[in-house]
A and B are shown apart, each in its own frame.
Chain A
Amino acid sequence: MTIRNVLRDHGQRYRPRMACLKKAEKVVLEMQDPTTGVKLQPQRLVITTIPHAITGEDIVQICLFYSEARSFGSMLVALGYIYPIQDHKRLVVKPDASLYRFQTPYFWPTQQWPVEDTDYAIYLAKRNIRKKGILELHEQEQYNHLHKWMNHKWDFIVMQAKEQYRAAKERKKPDRVVFDCQERAYWVVHRPPVRTHTCMFLSLQKTFMIFIQQSIMRPRVKSSVSIGALVKYCATYKGHDPFLSKCLPSNPWLTDDVTYWALNMPNVEIPTKMRVERWTFSFGELLSDPRGRDDFRLFLKKEFSGENLAFWEGCEDLKWGTAATMKEKAEQIYKTFLARGAPRWINIDGKTMEITVKGLKHPHRYVLDAAQTHIYMLMKKDSYGRYLKSPVFKETTKKAVCPEEHKFSDSQLEQNARNRRPSLSPIIIRQQEQEQKAKMAASAPVDITQVMSKLSQQGKEAPPRRTSVKND
Chain B
Amino acid sequence: MPLVNNKVGNDCTVGTDKTLADGKDLVESVIKVVACYRHLAACVGGCTDSLQLRDELRQMREKALNLAEAIRLHLTSHLRDKSLPEDQRKEMELLWVAFSSSLELLHVDMCKVFSMGDNFSLANTASLVQTGLQGGGSEVAARALSLADLNQEPPTLPAGLESQERSTMEQEISQIDHMIDDMEKKVNVLRWMVEPRGPQYADPLSSTESASLALLSIDEEQPGHKPLCQRNLIFVLLLLFAVVLVAATLSVCLVLFS
A positions within 8 Å CB-CB of B: 1-4, 6, 28-29, 32-34, 40, 43, 45-48, 50-53, 85-89, 101-107, 112-113, 116, 118-119, 125, 128-132, 143-144, 147, 151-182
Residue numbers in B under 8 Å from A129 (CB-CB):
202-205
User: When each residue 79-105 of chain B gets 1 if its CB lies under 8 Å from chain A and 0 otherwise, what string results?
Assistant: 000000000000000100110011011
Give the nearest-CB partner of A35 in chain B.
Answer: B126
B122 at interface, CB cutoff 8 A: no
Residue numbers in A under 8 Å from B215 (CB-CB):
46-47
B3 at interface, CB cutoff 8 A: yes
Instruction: Let me know if A132 and B98 touch, CB within 8 A.
Output: no
User: When each residue 227-245 of chain B gets 1 if its CB lies under 8 Å from chain A and 0 otherwise, what string results?
Assistant: 0000000000000000000
Residue numbers in B under 8 Å from A155 (CB-CB):
2-3, 94, 97-98, 196-198
21 contacts between A and B (CB under 8 A): A33-B127, A87-B222, A102-B129, A104-B42, A105-B44, A107-B42, A112-B111, A116-B108, A152-B97, A154-B198, A154-B200, A155-B2, A156-B31, A159-B98, A159-B198, A160-B34, A163-B35, A171-B135, A175-B133, A178-B133, A181-B220
Residue numbers in B under 8 Å from A48 (CB-CB):
216
Instruction: Let me know if A86 and B202 touch, CB within 8 A.
Output: no
Bound complex: CA A154 to CA B2 (Å): 10
The segment out of B11-19, B67-75, B159-167, B169-177 that lies at the interface is B169-177
Once A87-B223, A88-B220, A172-B135 are accepted as A-B contacts, the answer to whether A153 and B101 lie under 8 Å apart by CB is yes
Residue numbers in A under 8 Å from B32 (CB-CB):
163, 167
Give the nearest-CB partner of A54 in chain B.
Answer: B130
Q: Count of chain B residues with Cβ under 8 Å from any Cβ of A?
A: 80
Instruction: Let me know if A175 and B130 touch, CB within 8 A.
Output: no
B21 at interface, CB cutoff 8 A: no
Bound complex: CA A4 to CA B184 (Å): 12
Q: Distance (Å) between the CB of A37 and the closest chain B CB?
A: 8
Which one of A47, A113, A175, A182 has the greatest number of beta carbons of chain B within 10 Å?
A175
Instruction: Let me know if B111 and A113 touch, CB within 8 A.
Output: yes
Q: Which 4 A-B pairs have the closest CB atoms?
A: A105-B45, A163-B35, A154-B196, A156-B98
Residue numbers in A under 8 Å from B218 (CB-CB):
46
Give the nearest-CB partner of B219 in chain A.
Answer: A45
> Which residue of the partner chain, among A43, A51, A101, A179, contacts B39 with CB atoms under 8 Å?
A179
User: When each residue 139-163 of chain B gets 1 if its CB lies under 8 Å from chain A and 0 otherwise, what string results?
Assistant: 1101110000000000000000000
Instruction: Let me know if B216 and A45 touch, CB within 8 A.
Output: yes
Once A45-B219, A155-B98, A160-B102 are accepted as A-B contacts, the answer to whether A132 and B35 lie under 8 Å apart by CB is no
Once A29-B129, A47-B215, A159-B2 are accepted as A-B contacts, the answer to whether A167 and B143 lie under 8 Å apart by CB is yes
Bound complex: CA A57 to CA B180 (Å): 49
B positions within 8 Å CB-CB of A: 2-3, 28, 31-32, 34-36, 38-39, 41-47, 94, 97-98, 101-102, 104-105, 107-108, 111-112, 115-116, 119-120, 126-135, 137, 139-140, 142-144, 170, 173-174, 177, 180, 191-205, 209-210, 213-220, 222-223
Give the nearest-CB partner of B39 in chain A.
Answer: A167
Give the nearest-CB partner of A102 in chain B.
Answer: B129
Q: Distance (Å) between the CB of A302 and the closest chain B CB?
A: 78
Instruction: Let me know if A32 and B177 touch, CB within 8 A.
Output: no
Q: Distance (Å) between the CB of B176 and the closest chain A CB?
A: 10
Which one of B102, B132, B135, B205 has the greatest number of beta carbons of chain A within 10 Å?
B132
Bound complex: CA A162 to CA B143 (Å): 14
> Which residue of the partner chain, among A50, A107, A128, A144, contacts B202 with CB atoms under 8 Å?
A128
Instruction: Let me know if B111 and A3 touch, CB within 8 A.
Output: yes
Instruction: Let me know if B35 and A52 touch, CB within 8 A.
Output: no
Instruction: Let me know if A50 and B31 touch, CB within 8 A.
Output: no
Q: Distance (Å) between the CB of B181 and the closest chain A CB?
A: 8
Instruction: Let me know if B217 and A1 touch, CB within 8 A.
Output: no
Residue numbers in A under 8 Å from B119 (CB-CB):
105
Bound complex: CA A170 to CA B204 (Å): 17
Instruction: Let me know if A162 and B111 touch, CB within 8 A.
Output: no
Which one of A53, A116, A158, A174 has the greatest number of beta carbons of chain B within 10 Å?
A158
Residue numbers in A under 8 Å from B216 (CB-CB):
45-48, 173, 176-177
Instruction: Let me know if A102 and B223 touch, CB within 8 A.
Output: no
> Which residue of the partner chain, among B129, B200, B214, contacts A104 with CB atoms under 8 Å?
B129
Give the nearest-CB partner of A176 in chain B.
Answer: B213
Give the nearest-CB partner of A81 in chain B.
Answer: B129
Bound complex: CA A344 to CA B204 (Å): 88
Q: Distance (Å) between the CB of B90 and the closest chain A CB?
A: 12
Once A1-B174, A46-B219 are accepted as A-B contacts, the answer to whether A28 and B105 lie under 8 Å apart by CB is no
Bound complex: CA A243 to CA B111 (Å): 62
Bound complex: CA A40 to CA B202 (Å): 38
Residue numbers in B under 8 Å from A86 (CB-CB):
219-220, 223
Residue numbers in B under 8 Å from A174 (CB-CB):
132, 134
Residue numbers in B under 8 Å from A113 (CB-CB):
108, 111-112
> Which residue of the partner chain, among B35, B42, B132, B197, contacts A106 with CB atoms under 8 Å?
B42
Residue numbers in B under 8 Å from A154 (CB-CB):
196, 198, 200
Bound complex: CA A310 to CA B36 (Å): 86
Instruction: Let me know if A159 and B28 touch, CB within 8 A.
Output: yes
